Amino acid sequence: MNQQEGYADDVVKGFITWSMVWGLVAVLVGVLISFQIAFPQLNLPPYLTYGRLRPIHTNAGIFGWGIGSFMAFFYYITQRLTRTGIWSPGLARVQLWLFNLAIALAAVTLALGMNRSKEYAELEWPVASLVVVVWVIFAINIVMTIVKRREEQMYISLWYILATLVGVAVLYLVNNASIPVSLTKSYSAYAGANDANVQWWYGHNAVAMVLTTPPLAIFYYFLPKATGVPIYSHRMGVIAFWSLIFMYLWTGAHHLLWAPVPDWVQTLAMAFSVMLIAPSWAAVFNGYFSMNGQWHQMRENYLVKFLIFGITFYGAQTLQGPSQSIRTFSAFIHFTDWVPGHVHMGTLGWVSLVLFAAIYYTLPRIYGTEIYSIRLANVHFWLVLTGQLMFSISMWIAGVQQAAMLNATNPDGSLHYSFMETMIEIYPYWHIRALGGVVYLAGLCVFLYNIWKTVAGAKTQGAAQPA
């Protein structure tokens, strides 16, 4: 599959390249803020403080690295599953430039303190409006490509792609509804508990439509490509897809347990969150069953290692998440370090491992070459796996200890530990967290070097060939 077959792969190369740039920015900033937590003197006001840098870290990671990669692979996968070139390559190139402009503006405005104070929806209205333009262009191009497809069968990845396009559009438009008062300031269109309810309906479903459905679309496409055998059950994938989409949209309020929202809303969110285990694990089992007779590839095929560990982290994530929605457990671990441990297992483990595999598979093929070093790819795998485990496990332990200390009471009902005593006990775990980030960053550097050498080698081969 290459440019000669009518596929517009230049835009795929562009999105992959820029997503890796934004991914590096996200991890660099993440490592810096993890050190700022462990060593507060590293905060340099006003621009280089945790409060300013943290939303830059999340926006660069989720939207720059995550969404940028998803755009690349949606274009790559859709063309091949429909046996049709992109509907408008020119529009896709415009989208690439607007996408980078939006991410760059996000970084600058957040550093300047322009922030709507909504989790994962911090961007002020001019930048948020530019994001809408980018998404509309993207959605039109993908949908029109599917409409004019030459392959009648809709493989499961295309269902996840369409769900992402529709889901993100609805969530983003509803939660970002605001009243501008100047070019740099706006206020939410909602108030009080309604605002919180809308925010977490968006916040949790952003996890669904940005960090679950796109990696699943990519996983379902690239696992058979990597192993050389088909997915275990396409029907199981489609049933799990519709169940996942139906259940996810009711779960956002589990972030508001013990908050002043109606009790029936909290109970509904908790019930659907627990039910969500079924479709999530259907995808996990589909991945595992697809490996029947192929488990030896875990030793021989570096791509399979990334994909199977990725889906394993997804399985762990989708057991942890529903359990956290149960009131008693939520009351125990909410507002502790358990939560960043949970979130980073999903982003560094599930999402990023699948994306690494997809990039390793795709770039050599569209450049017409081989990966520079499989040995380096394996080094990359073990470094990011080690870094991610150091990060998440230290945060889980810190979260449980933090929760236990914050909930400990004396016989008269007073708190047994002061807040400062709790903080002091957590410092060793914050040092491990920062060290885990450094290990993950080292793995990312190995990955970027391997990719850079692969692409450079392809260009050298191309230049050496006679005209």
CB within 8 A of 200, min separation 6: which ones? 252, 253, 255, 256
Is 222 within the bounds of a domain? no
Residues of the domain holding 105: 7-189
Is 347 within the bounds of a domain? no
Number of domains in the chain: 1
Model-level pTM? Answer: 0.95
Residues 231/288, Cβ–Cβ less than 8 Å: no
Is 47 within the bounds of a domain? yes
What would you report as the CA-atom Rg of the chain, rounded to the nearest whole angstrom?
Answer: 22
Tokens (6 digits) for 271: 């019930």
Residues in a beta bridge with 358:
none
Is 227 within the bounds of a domain? no
Question: In which residue ranges of the chain is pLDDT below 50?
Answer: 1, 466-467
Rounded CA separation 296/310 (Å): 17
Is 14 within the bounds of a domain? yes
Which pLDDT belongs to residue 410?
96
Is 430 within the bounds of a domain? no
Is 81 within the bounds of a domain? yes
Alpha helices, DSSP H, located in 39-112: 50-58, 68-82, 89-111
Rounded CA separation 391/351 (Å): 16
Give the chain's end-to-end CA distance (angstroms, integer): 22
Please report where in the chains the tokens 């358990």 appear, as a residue. Answer: 338
pLDDT digits (tens, 9 = 90+) for 91-140: 999 999 999 999 999 999 999 999 999 999 999 999 999 999 999 999 99
Which pLDDT belongs to residue 429?
97
439: nearest Cα among 360, 399, 381: 381
Which pLDDT belongs to residue 385?
97
58: nearest Cα among 46, 47, 67: 67
Alpha helices, DSSP H, located in 182-301: 192-211, 213-227, 234-248, 263-275, 277-289, 297-300
Which pLDDT belongs to residue 1?
43
Which pLDDT belongs to residue 206?
87
CB atoms within 10 A of CB 400: 16
Is 400 within the bounds of a domain? no
CATH value at residue 179: 1.20.210.10
